[in-house]
Amino acid sequence: MATPTTLLEFATAEESALKKEKVKAQKSVKDAQEEQAAARATHNSVVAELTVLENQAANIRKELASVPTPADGDALLDQLEQKIIDMRAKQAAILAAEEIVEVSKAKLDRANVEINLVAARLGEAEAVLAEAKQQSKQREDLKKKLTQPPLATLKDDADAALNTPPHNKPFTDAKARIKDIPADLITRAQERLKSAVDQLALTQTTAAEAQELVNAELNTNGGLAGKTEKLRVEFLRAEEAFRNYVLKSKEMFDQARAMLALVANPDHDPLTAAQVERIKELEADGILAAPKEKERDDARAEEKAKEAALAKAKLKAQVKDIDADLDADPDVQAAMTALNTARAARAAEDQTWNEKEAERDAAQAVVNTTKAALDKAILKAKADKIDPDTDAAVQAARAALADAEKDFNQADDDYKASDKGILHSWEAAVPNTAWRRFADFTEAERLLTILKDTDPATLVSAMETAEMELFKELVAAAKSARTLRLLNIMMAERKARLEYENGAAQRLMFSALRGDS
């Protein structure tokens, strides 16, 4: 339809657009329901697989308890090591599945809202202002706390805990303690942690960019009410930063100090001589294998970055013109091309990294199949009253099983000698207690650094400035009635992903540190 030039044409176009949006919303609900069902099924499947592995590991440990000599336990130890690696991989898969479940739930919730939503309305500006006044006293009380112990000196205390003797002794002792883990393995773990942190930062950036587009749309096309909403968001963001500091900073400081004290304690879960020997035994090969995993991780990070760039390009194109043909947009096309290139590179890295493990797993599947065939042949022979030891079918099945086991042993040796097998064995040789020490030290250092670098006066100033700007607009504006369906839909998914990753940050980073994937 041509661009409306009369009120009737405009009303007709609006009606048509709303009908289309209703159909789209109905489809969104159906798609979201299917996506959520699939996500939950995947999550449940992975949890079930982890349970099986945990039971298998428990059975191996029981068998280890009864072996007559250390040599008799070598095969069981190898099996247990692989079960530990497999369980950690499943734990990483559960984290990924949980995120998909949470995001799909948010998408479904938003789709259900959208199907009944005609226009998003803001409350009257006076109501917002009244609420702001009610909270004013709370903020003033919080400001006073900044001038009193312990917050009055907390910034300097955090600096001293990191840098000034003797206050930083727990930090320096803890730093020395984490050297239980070889330097090269620490470097690889830190690289994985950085990748996890960068992914969280990318999610935060994506959410922030979407919010900025919301703000820009409100400021440009939302009228007075739109400008009010933009300033309200900015004020709430500044207020949240201020409140979080006042209410949580002392807790952060105490948590960091407690972590450092525990990590620094040499009597807390020291490595055994056998653990030290095993870690050292794998070190030379592990050092050579670690860069290969980093290449895989870098390819994954590049793919994630290109996915975010494509989402941003699509959103910008739709904000520019809600009816735009995204497939024809040059920025979207360029972003899609870049993503396809990154995706292919990541797939190649994954294939290289996982190749020997996949071959071993395939060989194990053949062993399982041939063993089942042997059992079946034995049962048939007995049913036919034939001695299984002389039955031709049983003999053939035994020969097939022997060949399959030989192939599996070779594939297993090849996997253990691969970069992935070597690195995962090296990582598995480091007990969880040592990894936890490293994770706690890293988290304590992060918390103290945040406190050291945060200026409370800057937080107060930012909040007061934002509050003043919001107040002036609230006085002038009575309400805002700007519809922002598309951007709110896009924000819902990003917010859900951000909330999940913020809430699960410690688990995600620990999984990354440990090399579960």
Cβ–Cβ under 8 Å, residues 36 and 101: yes
Higher pLDDT, 512 or 124: 512
Per-residue model confidence as pLDDT tens digits over 147-205: 999 999 999 999 999 999 999 999 999 999 998 899 998 988 888 888 887 777 777 77
Structure tokens at 124: 């009257």
Cα 313 off chain centre by? 23
Q: How confident is the model at residue 516 (pLDDT cuts 50, 70, 90)?
A: low
Distance CA 335, CA 312 (A): 9
Assign 316 a pLDDT band (cuts: 50, 70, 90).
confident
Element housing 144 (H / E): helix 125-145
CA dihedral 275, 280, 284, 290 (to 10 degrees): 40
The pLDDT, as a whole number, for residue 223 is 58
Nearest to 99 by CA among 517, 515, 507: 507
How distant, in Å, are the alpha carbons of 14, 23, 27, 97, 495 from that of 116? 17, 12, 13, 29, 21
3 compared with 297, residue with greater pLDDT: 297
pLDDT at 19: 63
Dist CA 254 CA 259 (whole Å): 9
What is the secondary structure of 188-256 as a DSSP string?
Answer: HHHHHHHHHHHHHHHHHHHHHHHHHHHHHHHHHHSHHHHHHHHHHHHHHHHHHHHHHHHHHHHHHHHHH
- Arithmetic mean of pLDDT, 397-414: 96
Residue 159 has what pLDDT?
98
pLDDT of amino acid 476: 55
Residue 9 pLDDT > 90, yes or no?
no
Q: What is the mean pLDDT of residues 143-149?
A: 94
Check the CA dihedral 412-417-419-420 and report its sign: positive
Residues 6 or more apart from 419 whose CB is under 8 A from it? 288, 289, 292, 293, 353
Question: How far from 369 is each of 87, 238, 376, CA to CA, in Å?
Answer: 23, 62, 11
Give the model's confidence band at 84: pLDDT under 50 very low, under 70 low, under 90 confident, else very high: confident
**Contact present, 32 and 492 (Cβ < 8 Å):** no
470 pLDDT above the threshold of 60: yes
- Token pair, residue 155, equals 């910034």
pTM of the model: 0.60
Rounded to a whole number of angstroms, the CA Rg of the chain reads 30
Q: How confident is the model at residue 492, as a pLDDT? A: 65
pLDDT category of residue 39 using cuts at 50, 70 and 90: confident
Query: Structure tokens of 392?
Result: 């031709």
Nearest Cα neighbor of 82 from 403, 370, 413 is: 413
Please give the Cα distance from 239 to 234 (Å, whole number).
9
pLDDT of residue 490: 65
Q: Which segment of 183-192, 238-247, 386-395 scores lowest on mean pLDDT?
A: 183-192
The rounded percent of the chain whose pLDDT value lies above 90 is: 47
- The region of weakest confidence among 45-49, 201-205, 359-363 is 201-205
Top pLDDT among 83 and 461 is at 461
Mean pLDDT of the chain: 83
pLDDT in tens, 488-513: 666 666 776 677 667 766 776 777 78
At position 261, the amino acid (one-letter code) is A
pLDDT in tens, 482-494: 345 556 666 666 7
Q: What is the pLDDT of residue 371?
A: 95
- At residue 11 the predicted structure's pLDDT band, cuts being 50, 70 and 90, is very low
Between these two residues, 514 and 288, which has the higher pLDDT value?
288
Using CA atoms, how far apart are residues 416 and 410, in angstroms rounded to an integer? 10
The pLDDT tens digits of the residues spanning 431-442 come to 999 999 999 999
Confidence of residue 478 (pLDDT cuts 50, 70, 90): very low
